[in-house]
Amino acid sequence: MSQQERIFLSSPHMSGNEQKYINDAFDTNWIAPLGPNVDGFERELADYVGVRDAAAVSSGTAAIHLALRLLDVQAGDKVFCSSLTFVASANPILYQGAEPVFIDSEPDTWNISPNALERALVDAERNHRLPKAVIIVNLYGQSAKMDELVAICDRYNVPIIEDAAESLGATYKGKKSGTFGKFGVYSFNGNKIITTSGGGMLVSNDVEALKKARFLATQARDLAPHYQHSEIGYNYRMSNILAGIGRAQLEVLDERVAARRAVYNRYVVAFGDIDGITFMPELKGTYHNRWLTTLIIDRDKLGVTPMQVIESLSKENIEARPVWKPLHLQPLFESVKYYSHESNRSISDELFVSGICLPSGSNMTEEQQNRVIQNIIKLLNQRMAV
């Protein structure tokens, strides 16, 4: 193992201003899952993305779970979900005892295929079993094809939950990612574009629904002086200390997006001309936050697989990862129904075997990035020589 300092895929990047908000919380003794930082973070994030309201919660997963509850997803209901994503997009479907149906990606954005979604909805309508919701994920910071997807879902009257955990700061035709559905979800986990160490946000233009979300997130306590409860609640609210970190992080979000895009651009300069390397595209009219730089490796042309690149980088103490393993291939979801992009072609399967995520942190120095680039070039030269 190389003794050189480790380069992470995506590590927390503090601005320095976080401490001020944390000190405020300590000075006023708001050490609780409520307080001025929580209120401030909610208002500031809602303003930033341009929605009427936001509810700060303990994780992105909790936000998805609350969205499903608010849409009355129950045992036996169906929920459609992108297949190429992190398991957290779909786990809350199981929390509700509902049944996921996975939808493939399309090649232009790597996100949910309008084609496959339409076929799934046609089938569901024929069986009189329309889903209670569709979870649309914006992968690696890129918006899905929202115009097409919103039109299809509207036609069937199925609400959208937009999982924008990875796409905060990205835009689609000038509108912020995460604001196209009935509900939008952001994550502030330690590896996301901004972080509170752990946390999430549920956003919506439905202020009443978010009031209900806050109620469910604080153990669903009825209005009574004694502790009275009529439905299942959760302990899902965000700490006032962590919300303070979030407020300072939000102040620098646009800088973080610019820095990640600069990282991406340097990779493009280094690898863009290599026949056999294709970067995740940026859909026309959209602004990708490039949370992670992801690319496809053609093993026939380059003589190397993504796993070989990952292992080679790992020896140099550099973290890289394969693209998410599609959920329809996960043992957890073995018997779940899946709709591929074309009847005999699954895009997410292809991306899984050929895709790789490179270190992309906004705090990565050019020197560190050059180390990543040089190691990959060295490996490719070795391979292509044989």
> Nearest approach, Cβ of 22 to ligand PLP (angstroms)?
20
Assess 189 for contact with ligand PLP (CB under 6 A): yes
> Nearest approach, Cβ of 53 to ligand PLP (angstroms)?
19
Assess 166 for contact with ligand PLP (CB under 6 A): yes
Cβ–Cβ under 8 Å, residues 179 and 161: no
Q: Please provide the DSSP assignment of 294-326 as one string.
A: EEEE-HHHHS--HHHHHHHHHHTTB--EE----
Whole-number Å distance between alpha carbons of 136 and 352: 18
Number of H helices, E strands in the chain: 13, 15
**Of the candidates 21, 86, 110, 333, which one interacts with ligand PLP according to CB under 6 A?**
86
Assess 60 for contact with ligand PLP (CB under 6 A): yes
Assess 88 for contact with ligand PLP (CB under 6 A): yes
Strand ranges (DSSP E) for 178-247?
Answer: 183-187, 200-204
> Nearest approach, Cβ of 9 to ligand PLP (angstroms)?
12
Site size for ligand PLP, by CB under 6 A? 14
> Nearest approach, Cβ of 288 to ligand PLP (angstroms)?
15
Assess 326 for contact with ligand PLP (CB under 6 A): no
Assess 200 for contact with ligand PLP (CB under 6 A): yes
Q: Between the CA atoms of 90, 96, 100 and 103, what dihedral angle is there, to the nearest 10 degrees?
A: -40
Assess 24 for contact with ligand PLP (CB under 6 A): no
> Nearest approach, Cβ of 137 to ligand PLP (angstroms)?
5
**Of the candidates 105, 187, 196, 360, which one interacts with ligand PLP according to CB under 6 A?**
187
> Nearest approach, Cβ of 265 to ligand PLP (angstroms)?
23
Strand 321-322 to strand 355-358: parallel, antiparallel, or no bridges (unpaired)? Answer: antiparallel
Residue list 130-159, contact with ligand PLP (CB under 6 A): 137
Assess 183 for contact with ligand PLP (CB under 6 A): no
Strand 338-339 to strand 99-103: parallel, antiparallel, or no bridges (unpaired)? Answer: parallel
Q: Give the C-alpha distances (Å, rounded to integers) separating 9 from 228, 234, 263, 292, 334.
A: 46, 32, 12, 8, 29
Assess 85 for contact with ligand PLP (CB under 6 A): yes
Token reading at 204? 């919506």
Q: Which residues contact 216 (CB under 8 A, 6 or more apart)?
A: 66, 69, 70, 231, 233, 234, 236
The one segment of 56-64, 208-216, 229-237, 243-251 that binds ligand PLP by CB under 6 A:
56-64
The one segment of 1-9, 99-107, 162-170, 373-381 that binds ligand PLP by CB under 6 A:
162-170
Within 10 angstroms of residue 291's Cβ, the number of other Cβ atoms is 29
Strand 293-297 to strand 355-358: parallel, antiparallel, or no bridges (unpaired)? Answer: antiparallel
Q: Which residue is nearest to ligand PLP (CB)?
A: 60
Binding region for ligand PLP (CB under 6 A): 59-61, 85-86, 88-89, 137, 163, 165-166, 187, 189, 200
